[in-house]
Structure 1
Amino acid sequence: MESFSTSMDLVQFIGKLGDLKDEHYHMTLAFNAMMELLIEKGLVTRQELEHKTAELNQLMTGSPYPMA
């Protein structure tokens, strides 16, 4: 941990990381609630969401460079 000039810098960094984890949890919870509401209201099916998720995941995990 040589990149931290003081122990206090390290404590502040760890605190910020904890805050980010908390924020991530709340954003994920809100996202899941919205998805469930869309399904309950019949605006989208679970299968459509699963298909779109797989499609986007493929785009994100694929090579950023097209194969010619």
Structure 2
Amino acid sequence: MNINSIEMVGQIADLKEVDYKNTLAVATLIELLIEKGIITRSEFSQKARELELATEAEITLMRRCKSIEK
């Protein structure tokens, strides 16, 4: 294994750590919003399904429309 391979393995490990921390932060926020009654688990699931099916352009358009409504 050469030095570039070792560096790449280290970078991948760092990314996994960052991904884990980001996932934990998002999961924590979702649980707090549900516990405080701000959203329901059903509402969250529905929005996740909508976003999963939407393209990046559609998501951007949805955000712009919502900011205009406010």
Structure 2 counterpart of 1:36: 31
TM-score scaled to structure 1, two decimals? Answer: 0.77
Counterpart of 1:57 (choices 43, 47, 52) is: 52
Structure 1 counterpart of 2:10: 15
Percent same amino acid among aligned pairs? 38
Unaligned runs of 5+ in 2: 56-70
Structure 1: which 4+ aligned runs deviate by more than 2 Å?
none
Question: Which has more helix, going by share of residues?
Answer: 2
Counterpart of 1:47 (choices 42, 55, 59) is: 42
TM-score scaled to structure 2, two decimals? Answer: 0.75
Greater Cα radius of gyration, structure 1 or 2: 1
How far apart are the structure 1 equivalents of 2:6 and 2:41? 42
Q: Aligned-pair distance for 1:57?
A: 0.4
**Cα RMSD (Å) of the superposition?**
1.2
Deviates more, 1:6-15 or 1:32-41: 6-15
Q: Aligned-pair distance for 1:43?
A: 0.3
Give the residue type in structure 2 aligned to 1:50.
S
Structure 2 counterpart of 1:3: none
Q: Aligned-pair distance for 1:30?
A: 0.7
